[in-house]
Chains A and B, each alone.
Chain A
Amino acid sequence: MQKEMAYSFPDEVLKHVFTFIQSDEDRNAVSLVCKSWYEIERWCRRKVFIGNCYAVSPRMVIRRFPEVRSIELKGKPHFADFNLVPDGWGGYVLQWIAEMAGAYPWLGEIRLKRMVVTDESLELIAKSFKNFKVLVLFSCEGFSTDGLAAIAASCKNLRELDLRESEVDDLSGHWLAHFPETCTSLVSLNISCLGSDEVSFSALERLVDRCPNLRSLQLNRGVTLDKIANILRRAPQLVDFGTGNYAAELQPDVFSNLAGAFSSCKELKSLSGFWDVVPAYLPALYSICPRLTSLNLSYATIQSPDLIKLVSHCPRLQRLLVLDYVEDSGLEELASSCKDLQELRVFPSDPFGAEPNVSLTEQGLVAVSLGCPKLQSVLYFCRRMSNAALVTIAQNCPNLTCFRLCIIEPKTADYLTLEPLDAGFGAIVEHCKDLRRLSLSGLLTDHVFEYIGTYGKKLEMLSVAFAGDSDLGLHHVLSGCESLRKLEIRDCPFGDKALLANAAKLETMRSLWMSSCAVSFGACKLLGQKMPKLNVEVIDETEPPDSRPESYPVDKLYIYRSVAGPRFDMPPFVWSMDEAVKILH
């Protein structure tokens, strides 16, 4: 410890002040002020977020932050969601759990996204952390209901168990019964990803009964409509509820029971689930609709007229997820009823059909942009778009922070002018000065990237597919987008030049993904050689990249910054370009 200077605060005071500093950015800034602040800060940091589990090793984290209580880790690249990352790529959490088990006995919260979590990992969590409270497994895989049983049985003060969008191996529905009778602490339970056979409903009912603080409950598809009323009557304090199936033969007593149960939930603000909806049961929701701020109907195959009726009862709606059955007419109704709307996601009901099956076009999105001034986040799948529409949307919604447009057919031009959609997306980046996330689609030339590089100063994540003409496009993005953290590209004619010319930029980003582009094996090797702080990984499932000429393009490329050096858990189809790693095949 440094000698105390007359004008400096005692460490205890500083430590107390630092506890009010919660954000990672601020904490990082604090740690850079001077050595003693670095020391004090690292001993009192309780929460660590690691956006790429391979950017740092568990040992390094533990060494710097010895008193962590909450950790968040992300594994696979985003494109893994669309099957572009082969099985076995990596993202295993076991090593992290094993090391933290020894170092962080008081670890209370683990949040994982796109990681491989085995039953062994879950059993280790259950065994090692006496104060375990929160487990969130978002889009994870590799575990079964056996692992969940271990968590349920051992974690005496479990508050949150959230398995959203994870893939769970169905072994037995009885894992829920492993929650001891003494467990009354649950606040949040999301089992929506489980298959029909995986949940013992009576165990669930008893659990809900004894957890008075339960605020958020998402059931799985196997729970039938008639059971909803039972659950809701046991948990009228729910704020966030996900139904299972919402289909049954219309029976007046079932309907009135359901409607009554919903109306007793005075705090309910958010609804989801709604697999297999029978529209006649939707009016059972009307009593709570005026309070609803979030509605996820993205599995509900209900048609526009029923959607319109429902949405017109929800004036406070801030977030809507829906299938394209909503059509332009439904979105026009949304625009006139829901002035508080902040987030809209429209998913395709028939993504692989050659012809449109619904009347959903760019008009729907334009209507929402006009009617909903607070719109911030958009995910929209459609089949046609025009520059004019995009310009209108941009001008109507300058507060957009996230704009993801997916025109289903790659390289679709402006349907009115047959031109590329460069100007339209250009307007989006120009007008939406706070835009942090952008996904492109349609016919696009290098010009769109010029706009993005010029105006996208706050852009943090960019997704590109089937776009651009040359390396200039990539160069514009890498040289212009100052805040860029994640860049993912597929099927674009981007090659070596832009990548090599902007190599230093890659160290300022979390990661870069390029698949089916034109980057040569030689360039990958060069990058790996020259940039020791980058892990350059080539993925090829067909044959080793060095069995072909160096000028041959690699199939998939994933580059990420790391202070941990190359990883050693790579499967045979992933090659590290790090010189220190010998290629043994």
Chain B
Amino acid sequence: MVFEKDLNLDATELRLGLPGSSEESLRISNKRALPDMNDDSGVAVAKKCDQETAPPTKAQVVGWPPIRSYRKNSLQTKKTEAETGGMYVKVSMDGAPYLRKIDLKVYKGYPELFKALEDMFKFKVGKYSEREGYNGSEFVPTYEDKDGDWMLVGDVPWEMFINACKRLRIVRGSEARGLGCVV
């Protein structure tokens, strides 16, 4: 079986670079530097996807093996509470067109949670006080608890909060007045 060792790019109309130029100045390597899929910091770490390197350690690769999450979850509920996966809750923000999901177990307390929300939705939480709620911010974080009530985030101890919280909603300060917040 004869097959071409090289692709004849000149025969195709598409090329990289401006029309009229004959040689692309960019060199595209076929061996790509893979960003670290488990890297949270957002900086791509170069890793060779070379077959000669040792196989990756047992850090989980996203989406591999290809099993639906409801299947994984149904296997997981056999294990003890302590071993189960994260506590994912949906987060919505007034005016934002899409929702996000976060794992509450990942954060150690309210400051970390707020930092993550601020990064995700590009807003500022404002200063919390027990008496006045969140001061100095247009947006206020609230959550729906197990009884279906909407509560202000921050009033109860962190552990109690993550066990009670079903979903988060970042409301406009003006709508949060009933929750004891001053805008």
Asked if residues B67 and A553 are in contact (CB atoms below 8 Å), the reply is: no
| Pick from A411, A439, A491: contact of B34, CB under 8 Å | A491
For chain B, the bracket of interface size reads 35 or more
Q: Which residues of A contact B98 (CB under 8 A)?
A: 87-88, 571
Asked if residues A471 and B30 are in contact (CB atoms below 8 Å), the reply is: yes
Asked if residues A82 and B64 are in contact (CB atoms below 8 Å), the reply is: yes
User: For the complex, what is the distance from the CA of A543 to the CA of B43, rounded to whole Å?
Assistant: 9
| Chain A residue, CB-CB nearest to B37 | A516
Asked if residues B42 and A542 are in contact (CB atoms below 8 Å), the reply is: yes
Asked if residues A408 and B65 are in contact (CB atoms below 8 Å), the reply is: yes
User: For the complex, what is the distance from the CA of A476 to the CA of B49, rounded to whole Å?
Assistant: 21
A77 to chain B, nearest CB (A): 12
User: For the complex, what is the distance from the CA of A550 to the CA of B17, rounded to whole Å?
Assistant: 11
Q: Which residues of B contact A351 (CB under 8 A)?
A: 65, 67, 72
A339 to chain B, nearest CB (A): 29
A301 with B78: in contact, given A171-B148, A351-B72, A493-B30 (CB under 8 Å)? Answer: yes
| Cβ of B82 under 8 Å from chain A | no
A497 to chain B, nearest CB (A): 5
User: For the complex, what is the distance from the CA of A298 to the CA of B65, rounded to whole Å?
Assistant: 16
Q: Which residues of A contact B35 (CB under 8 A)?
A: 516, 542, 555
A-B contact count (CB 8 A): 138
B87 to chain A, nearest CB (A): 15
| Pick from B26, B44, B63: contact of A83, CB under 8 Å | B63
User: For the complex, what is the distance from the CA of A301 to the CA of B33, rounded to whole Å?
Assistant: 41
Asked if residues B16 and A496 are in contact (CB atoms below 8 Å), the reply is: yes
B146 to chain A, nearest CB (A): 11
A495 with B65: in contact, given A450-B3, A522-B26, A551-B26 (CB under 8 Å)? Answer: no
A526 with B16: in contact, given A411-B51, A450-B1, A450-B3 (CB under 8 Å)? Answer: yes
Q: Which residues of A contact B99 (CB under 8 A)?
A: 87-88
Asked if residues B15 and A299 are in contact (CB atoms below 8 Å), the reply is: no
| Stretch from A10-18, A61-69, A365-373, A498-506 at the B interface | A498-506
Q: Which residues of B contact A476 (CB under 8 A)?
A: 3
Residues 445-504 (chain A) with a chain B CB within 8 angstroms = 450, 454, 463, 465, 469-472, 475-476, 490-491, 493, 495-498, 500-501, 503
| Cβ of B108 under 8 Å from chain A | no
Asked if residues B16 and A522 are in contact (CB atoms below 8 Å), the reply is: yes
Would you give 21 A-B contacts (Cβ < 8 Å), ordered by A?
Answer: A83-B69, A87-B100, A165-B70, A193-B70, A299-B74, A348-B67, A351-B72, A439-B66, A493-B31, A493-B49, A495-B29, A496-B16, A497-B28, A498-B7, A500-B16, A501-B12, A517-B32, A520-B16, A520-B28, A526-B16, A530-B14
> Told that A351-B65, A490-B63, A522-B26 touch, could you supply 20 new A-B pairs with CB distance under 8 A?
A82-B68, A87-B98, A87-B100, A87-B101, A167-B70, A275-B74, A301-B78, A348-B65, A351-B67, A352-B58, A381-B67, A439-B66, A443-B51, A476-B3, A493-B31, A496-B16, A523-B28, A542-B35, A542-B44, A553-B33
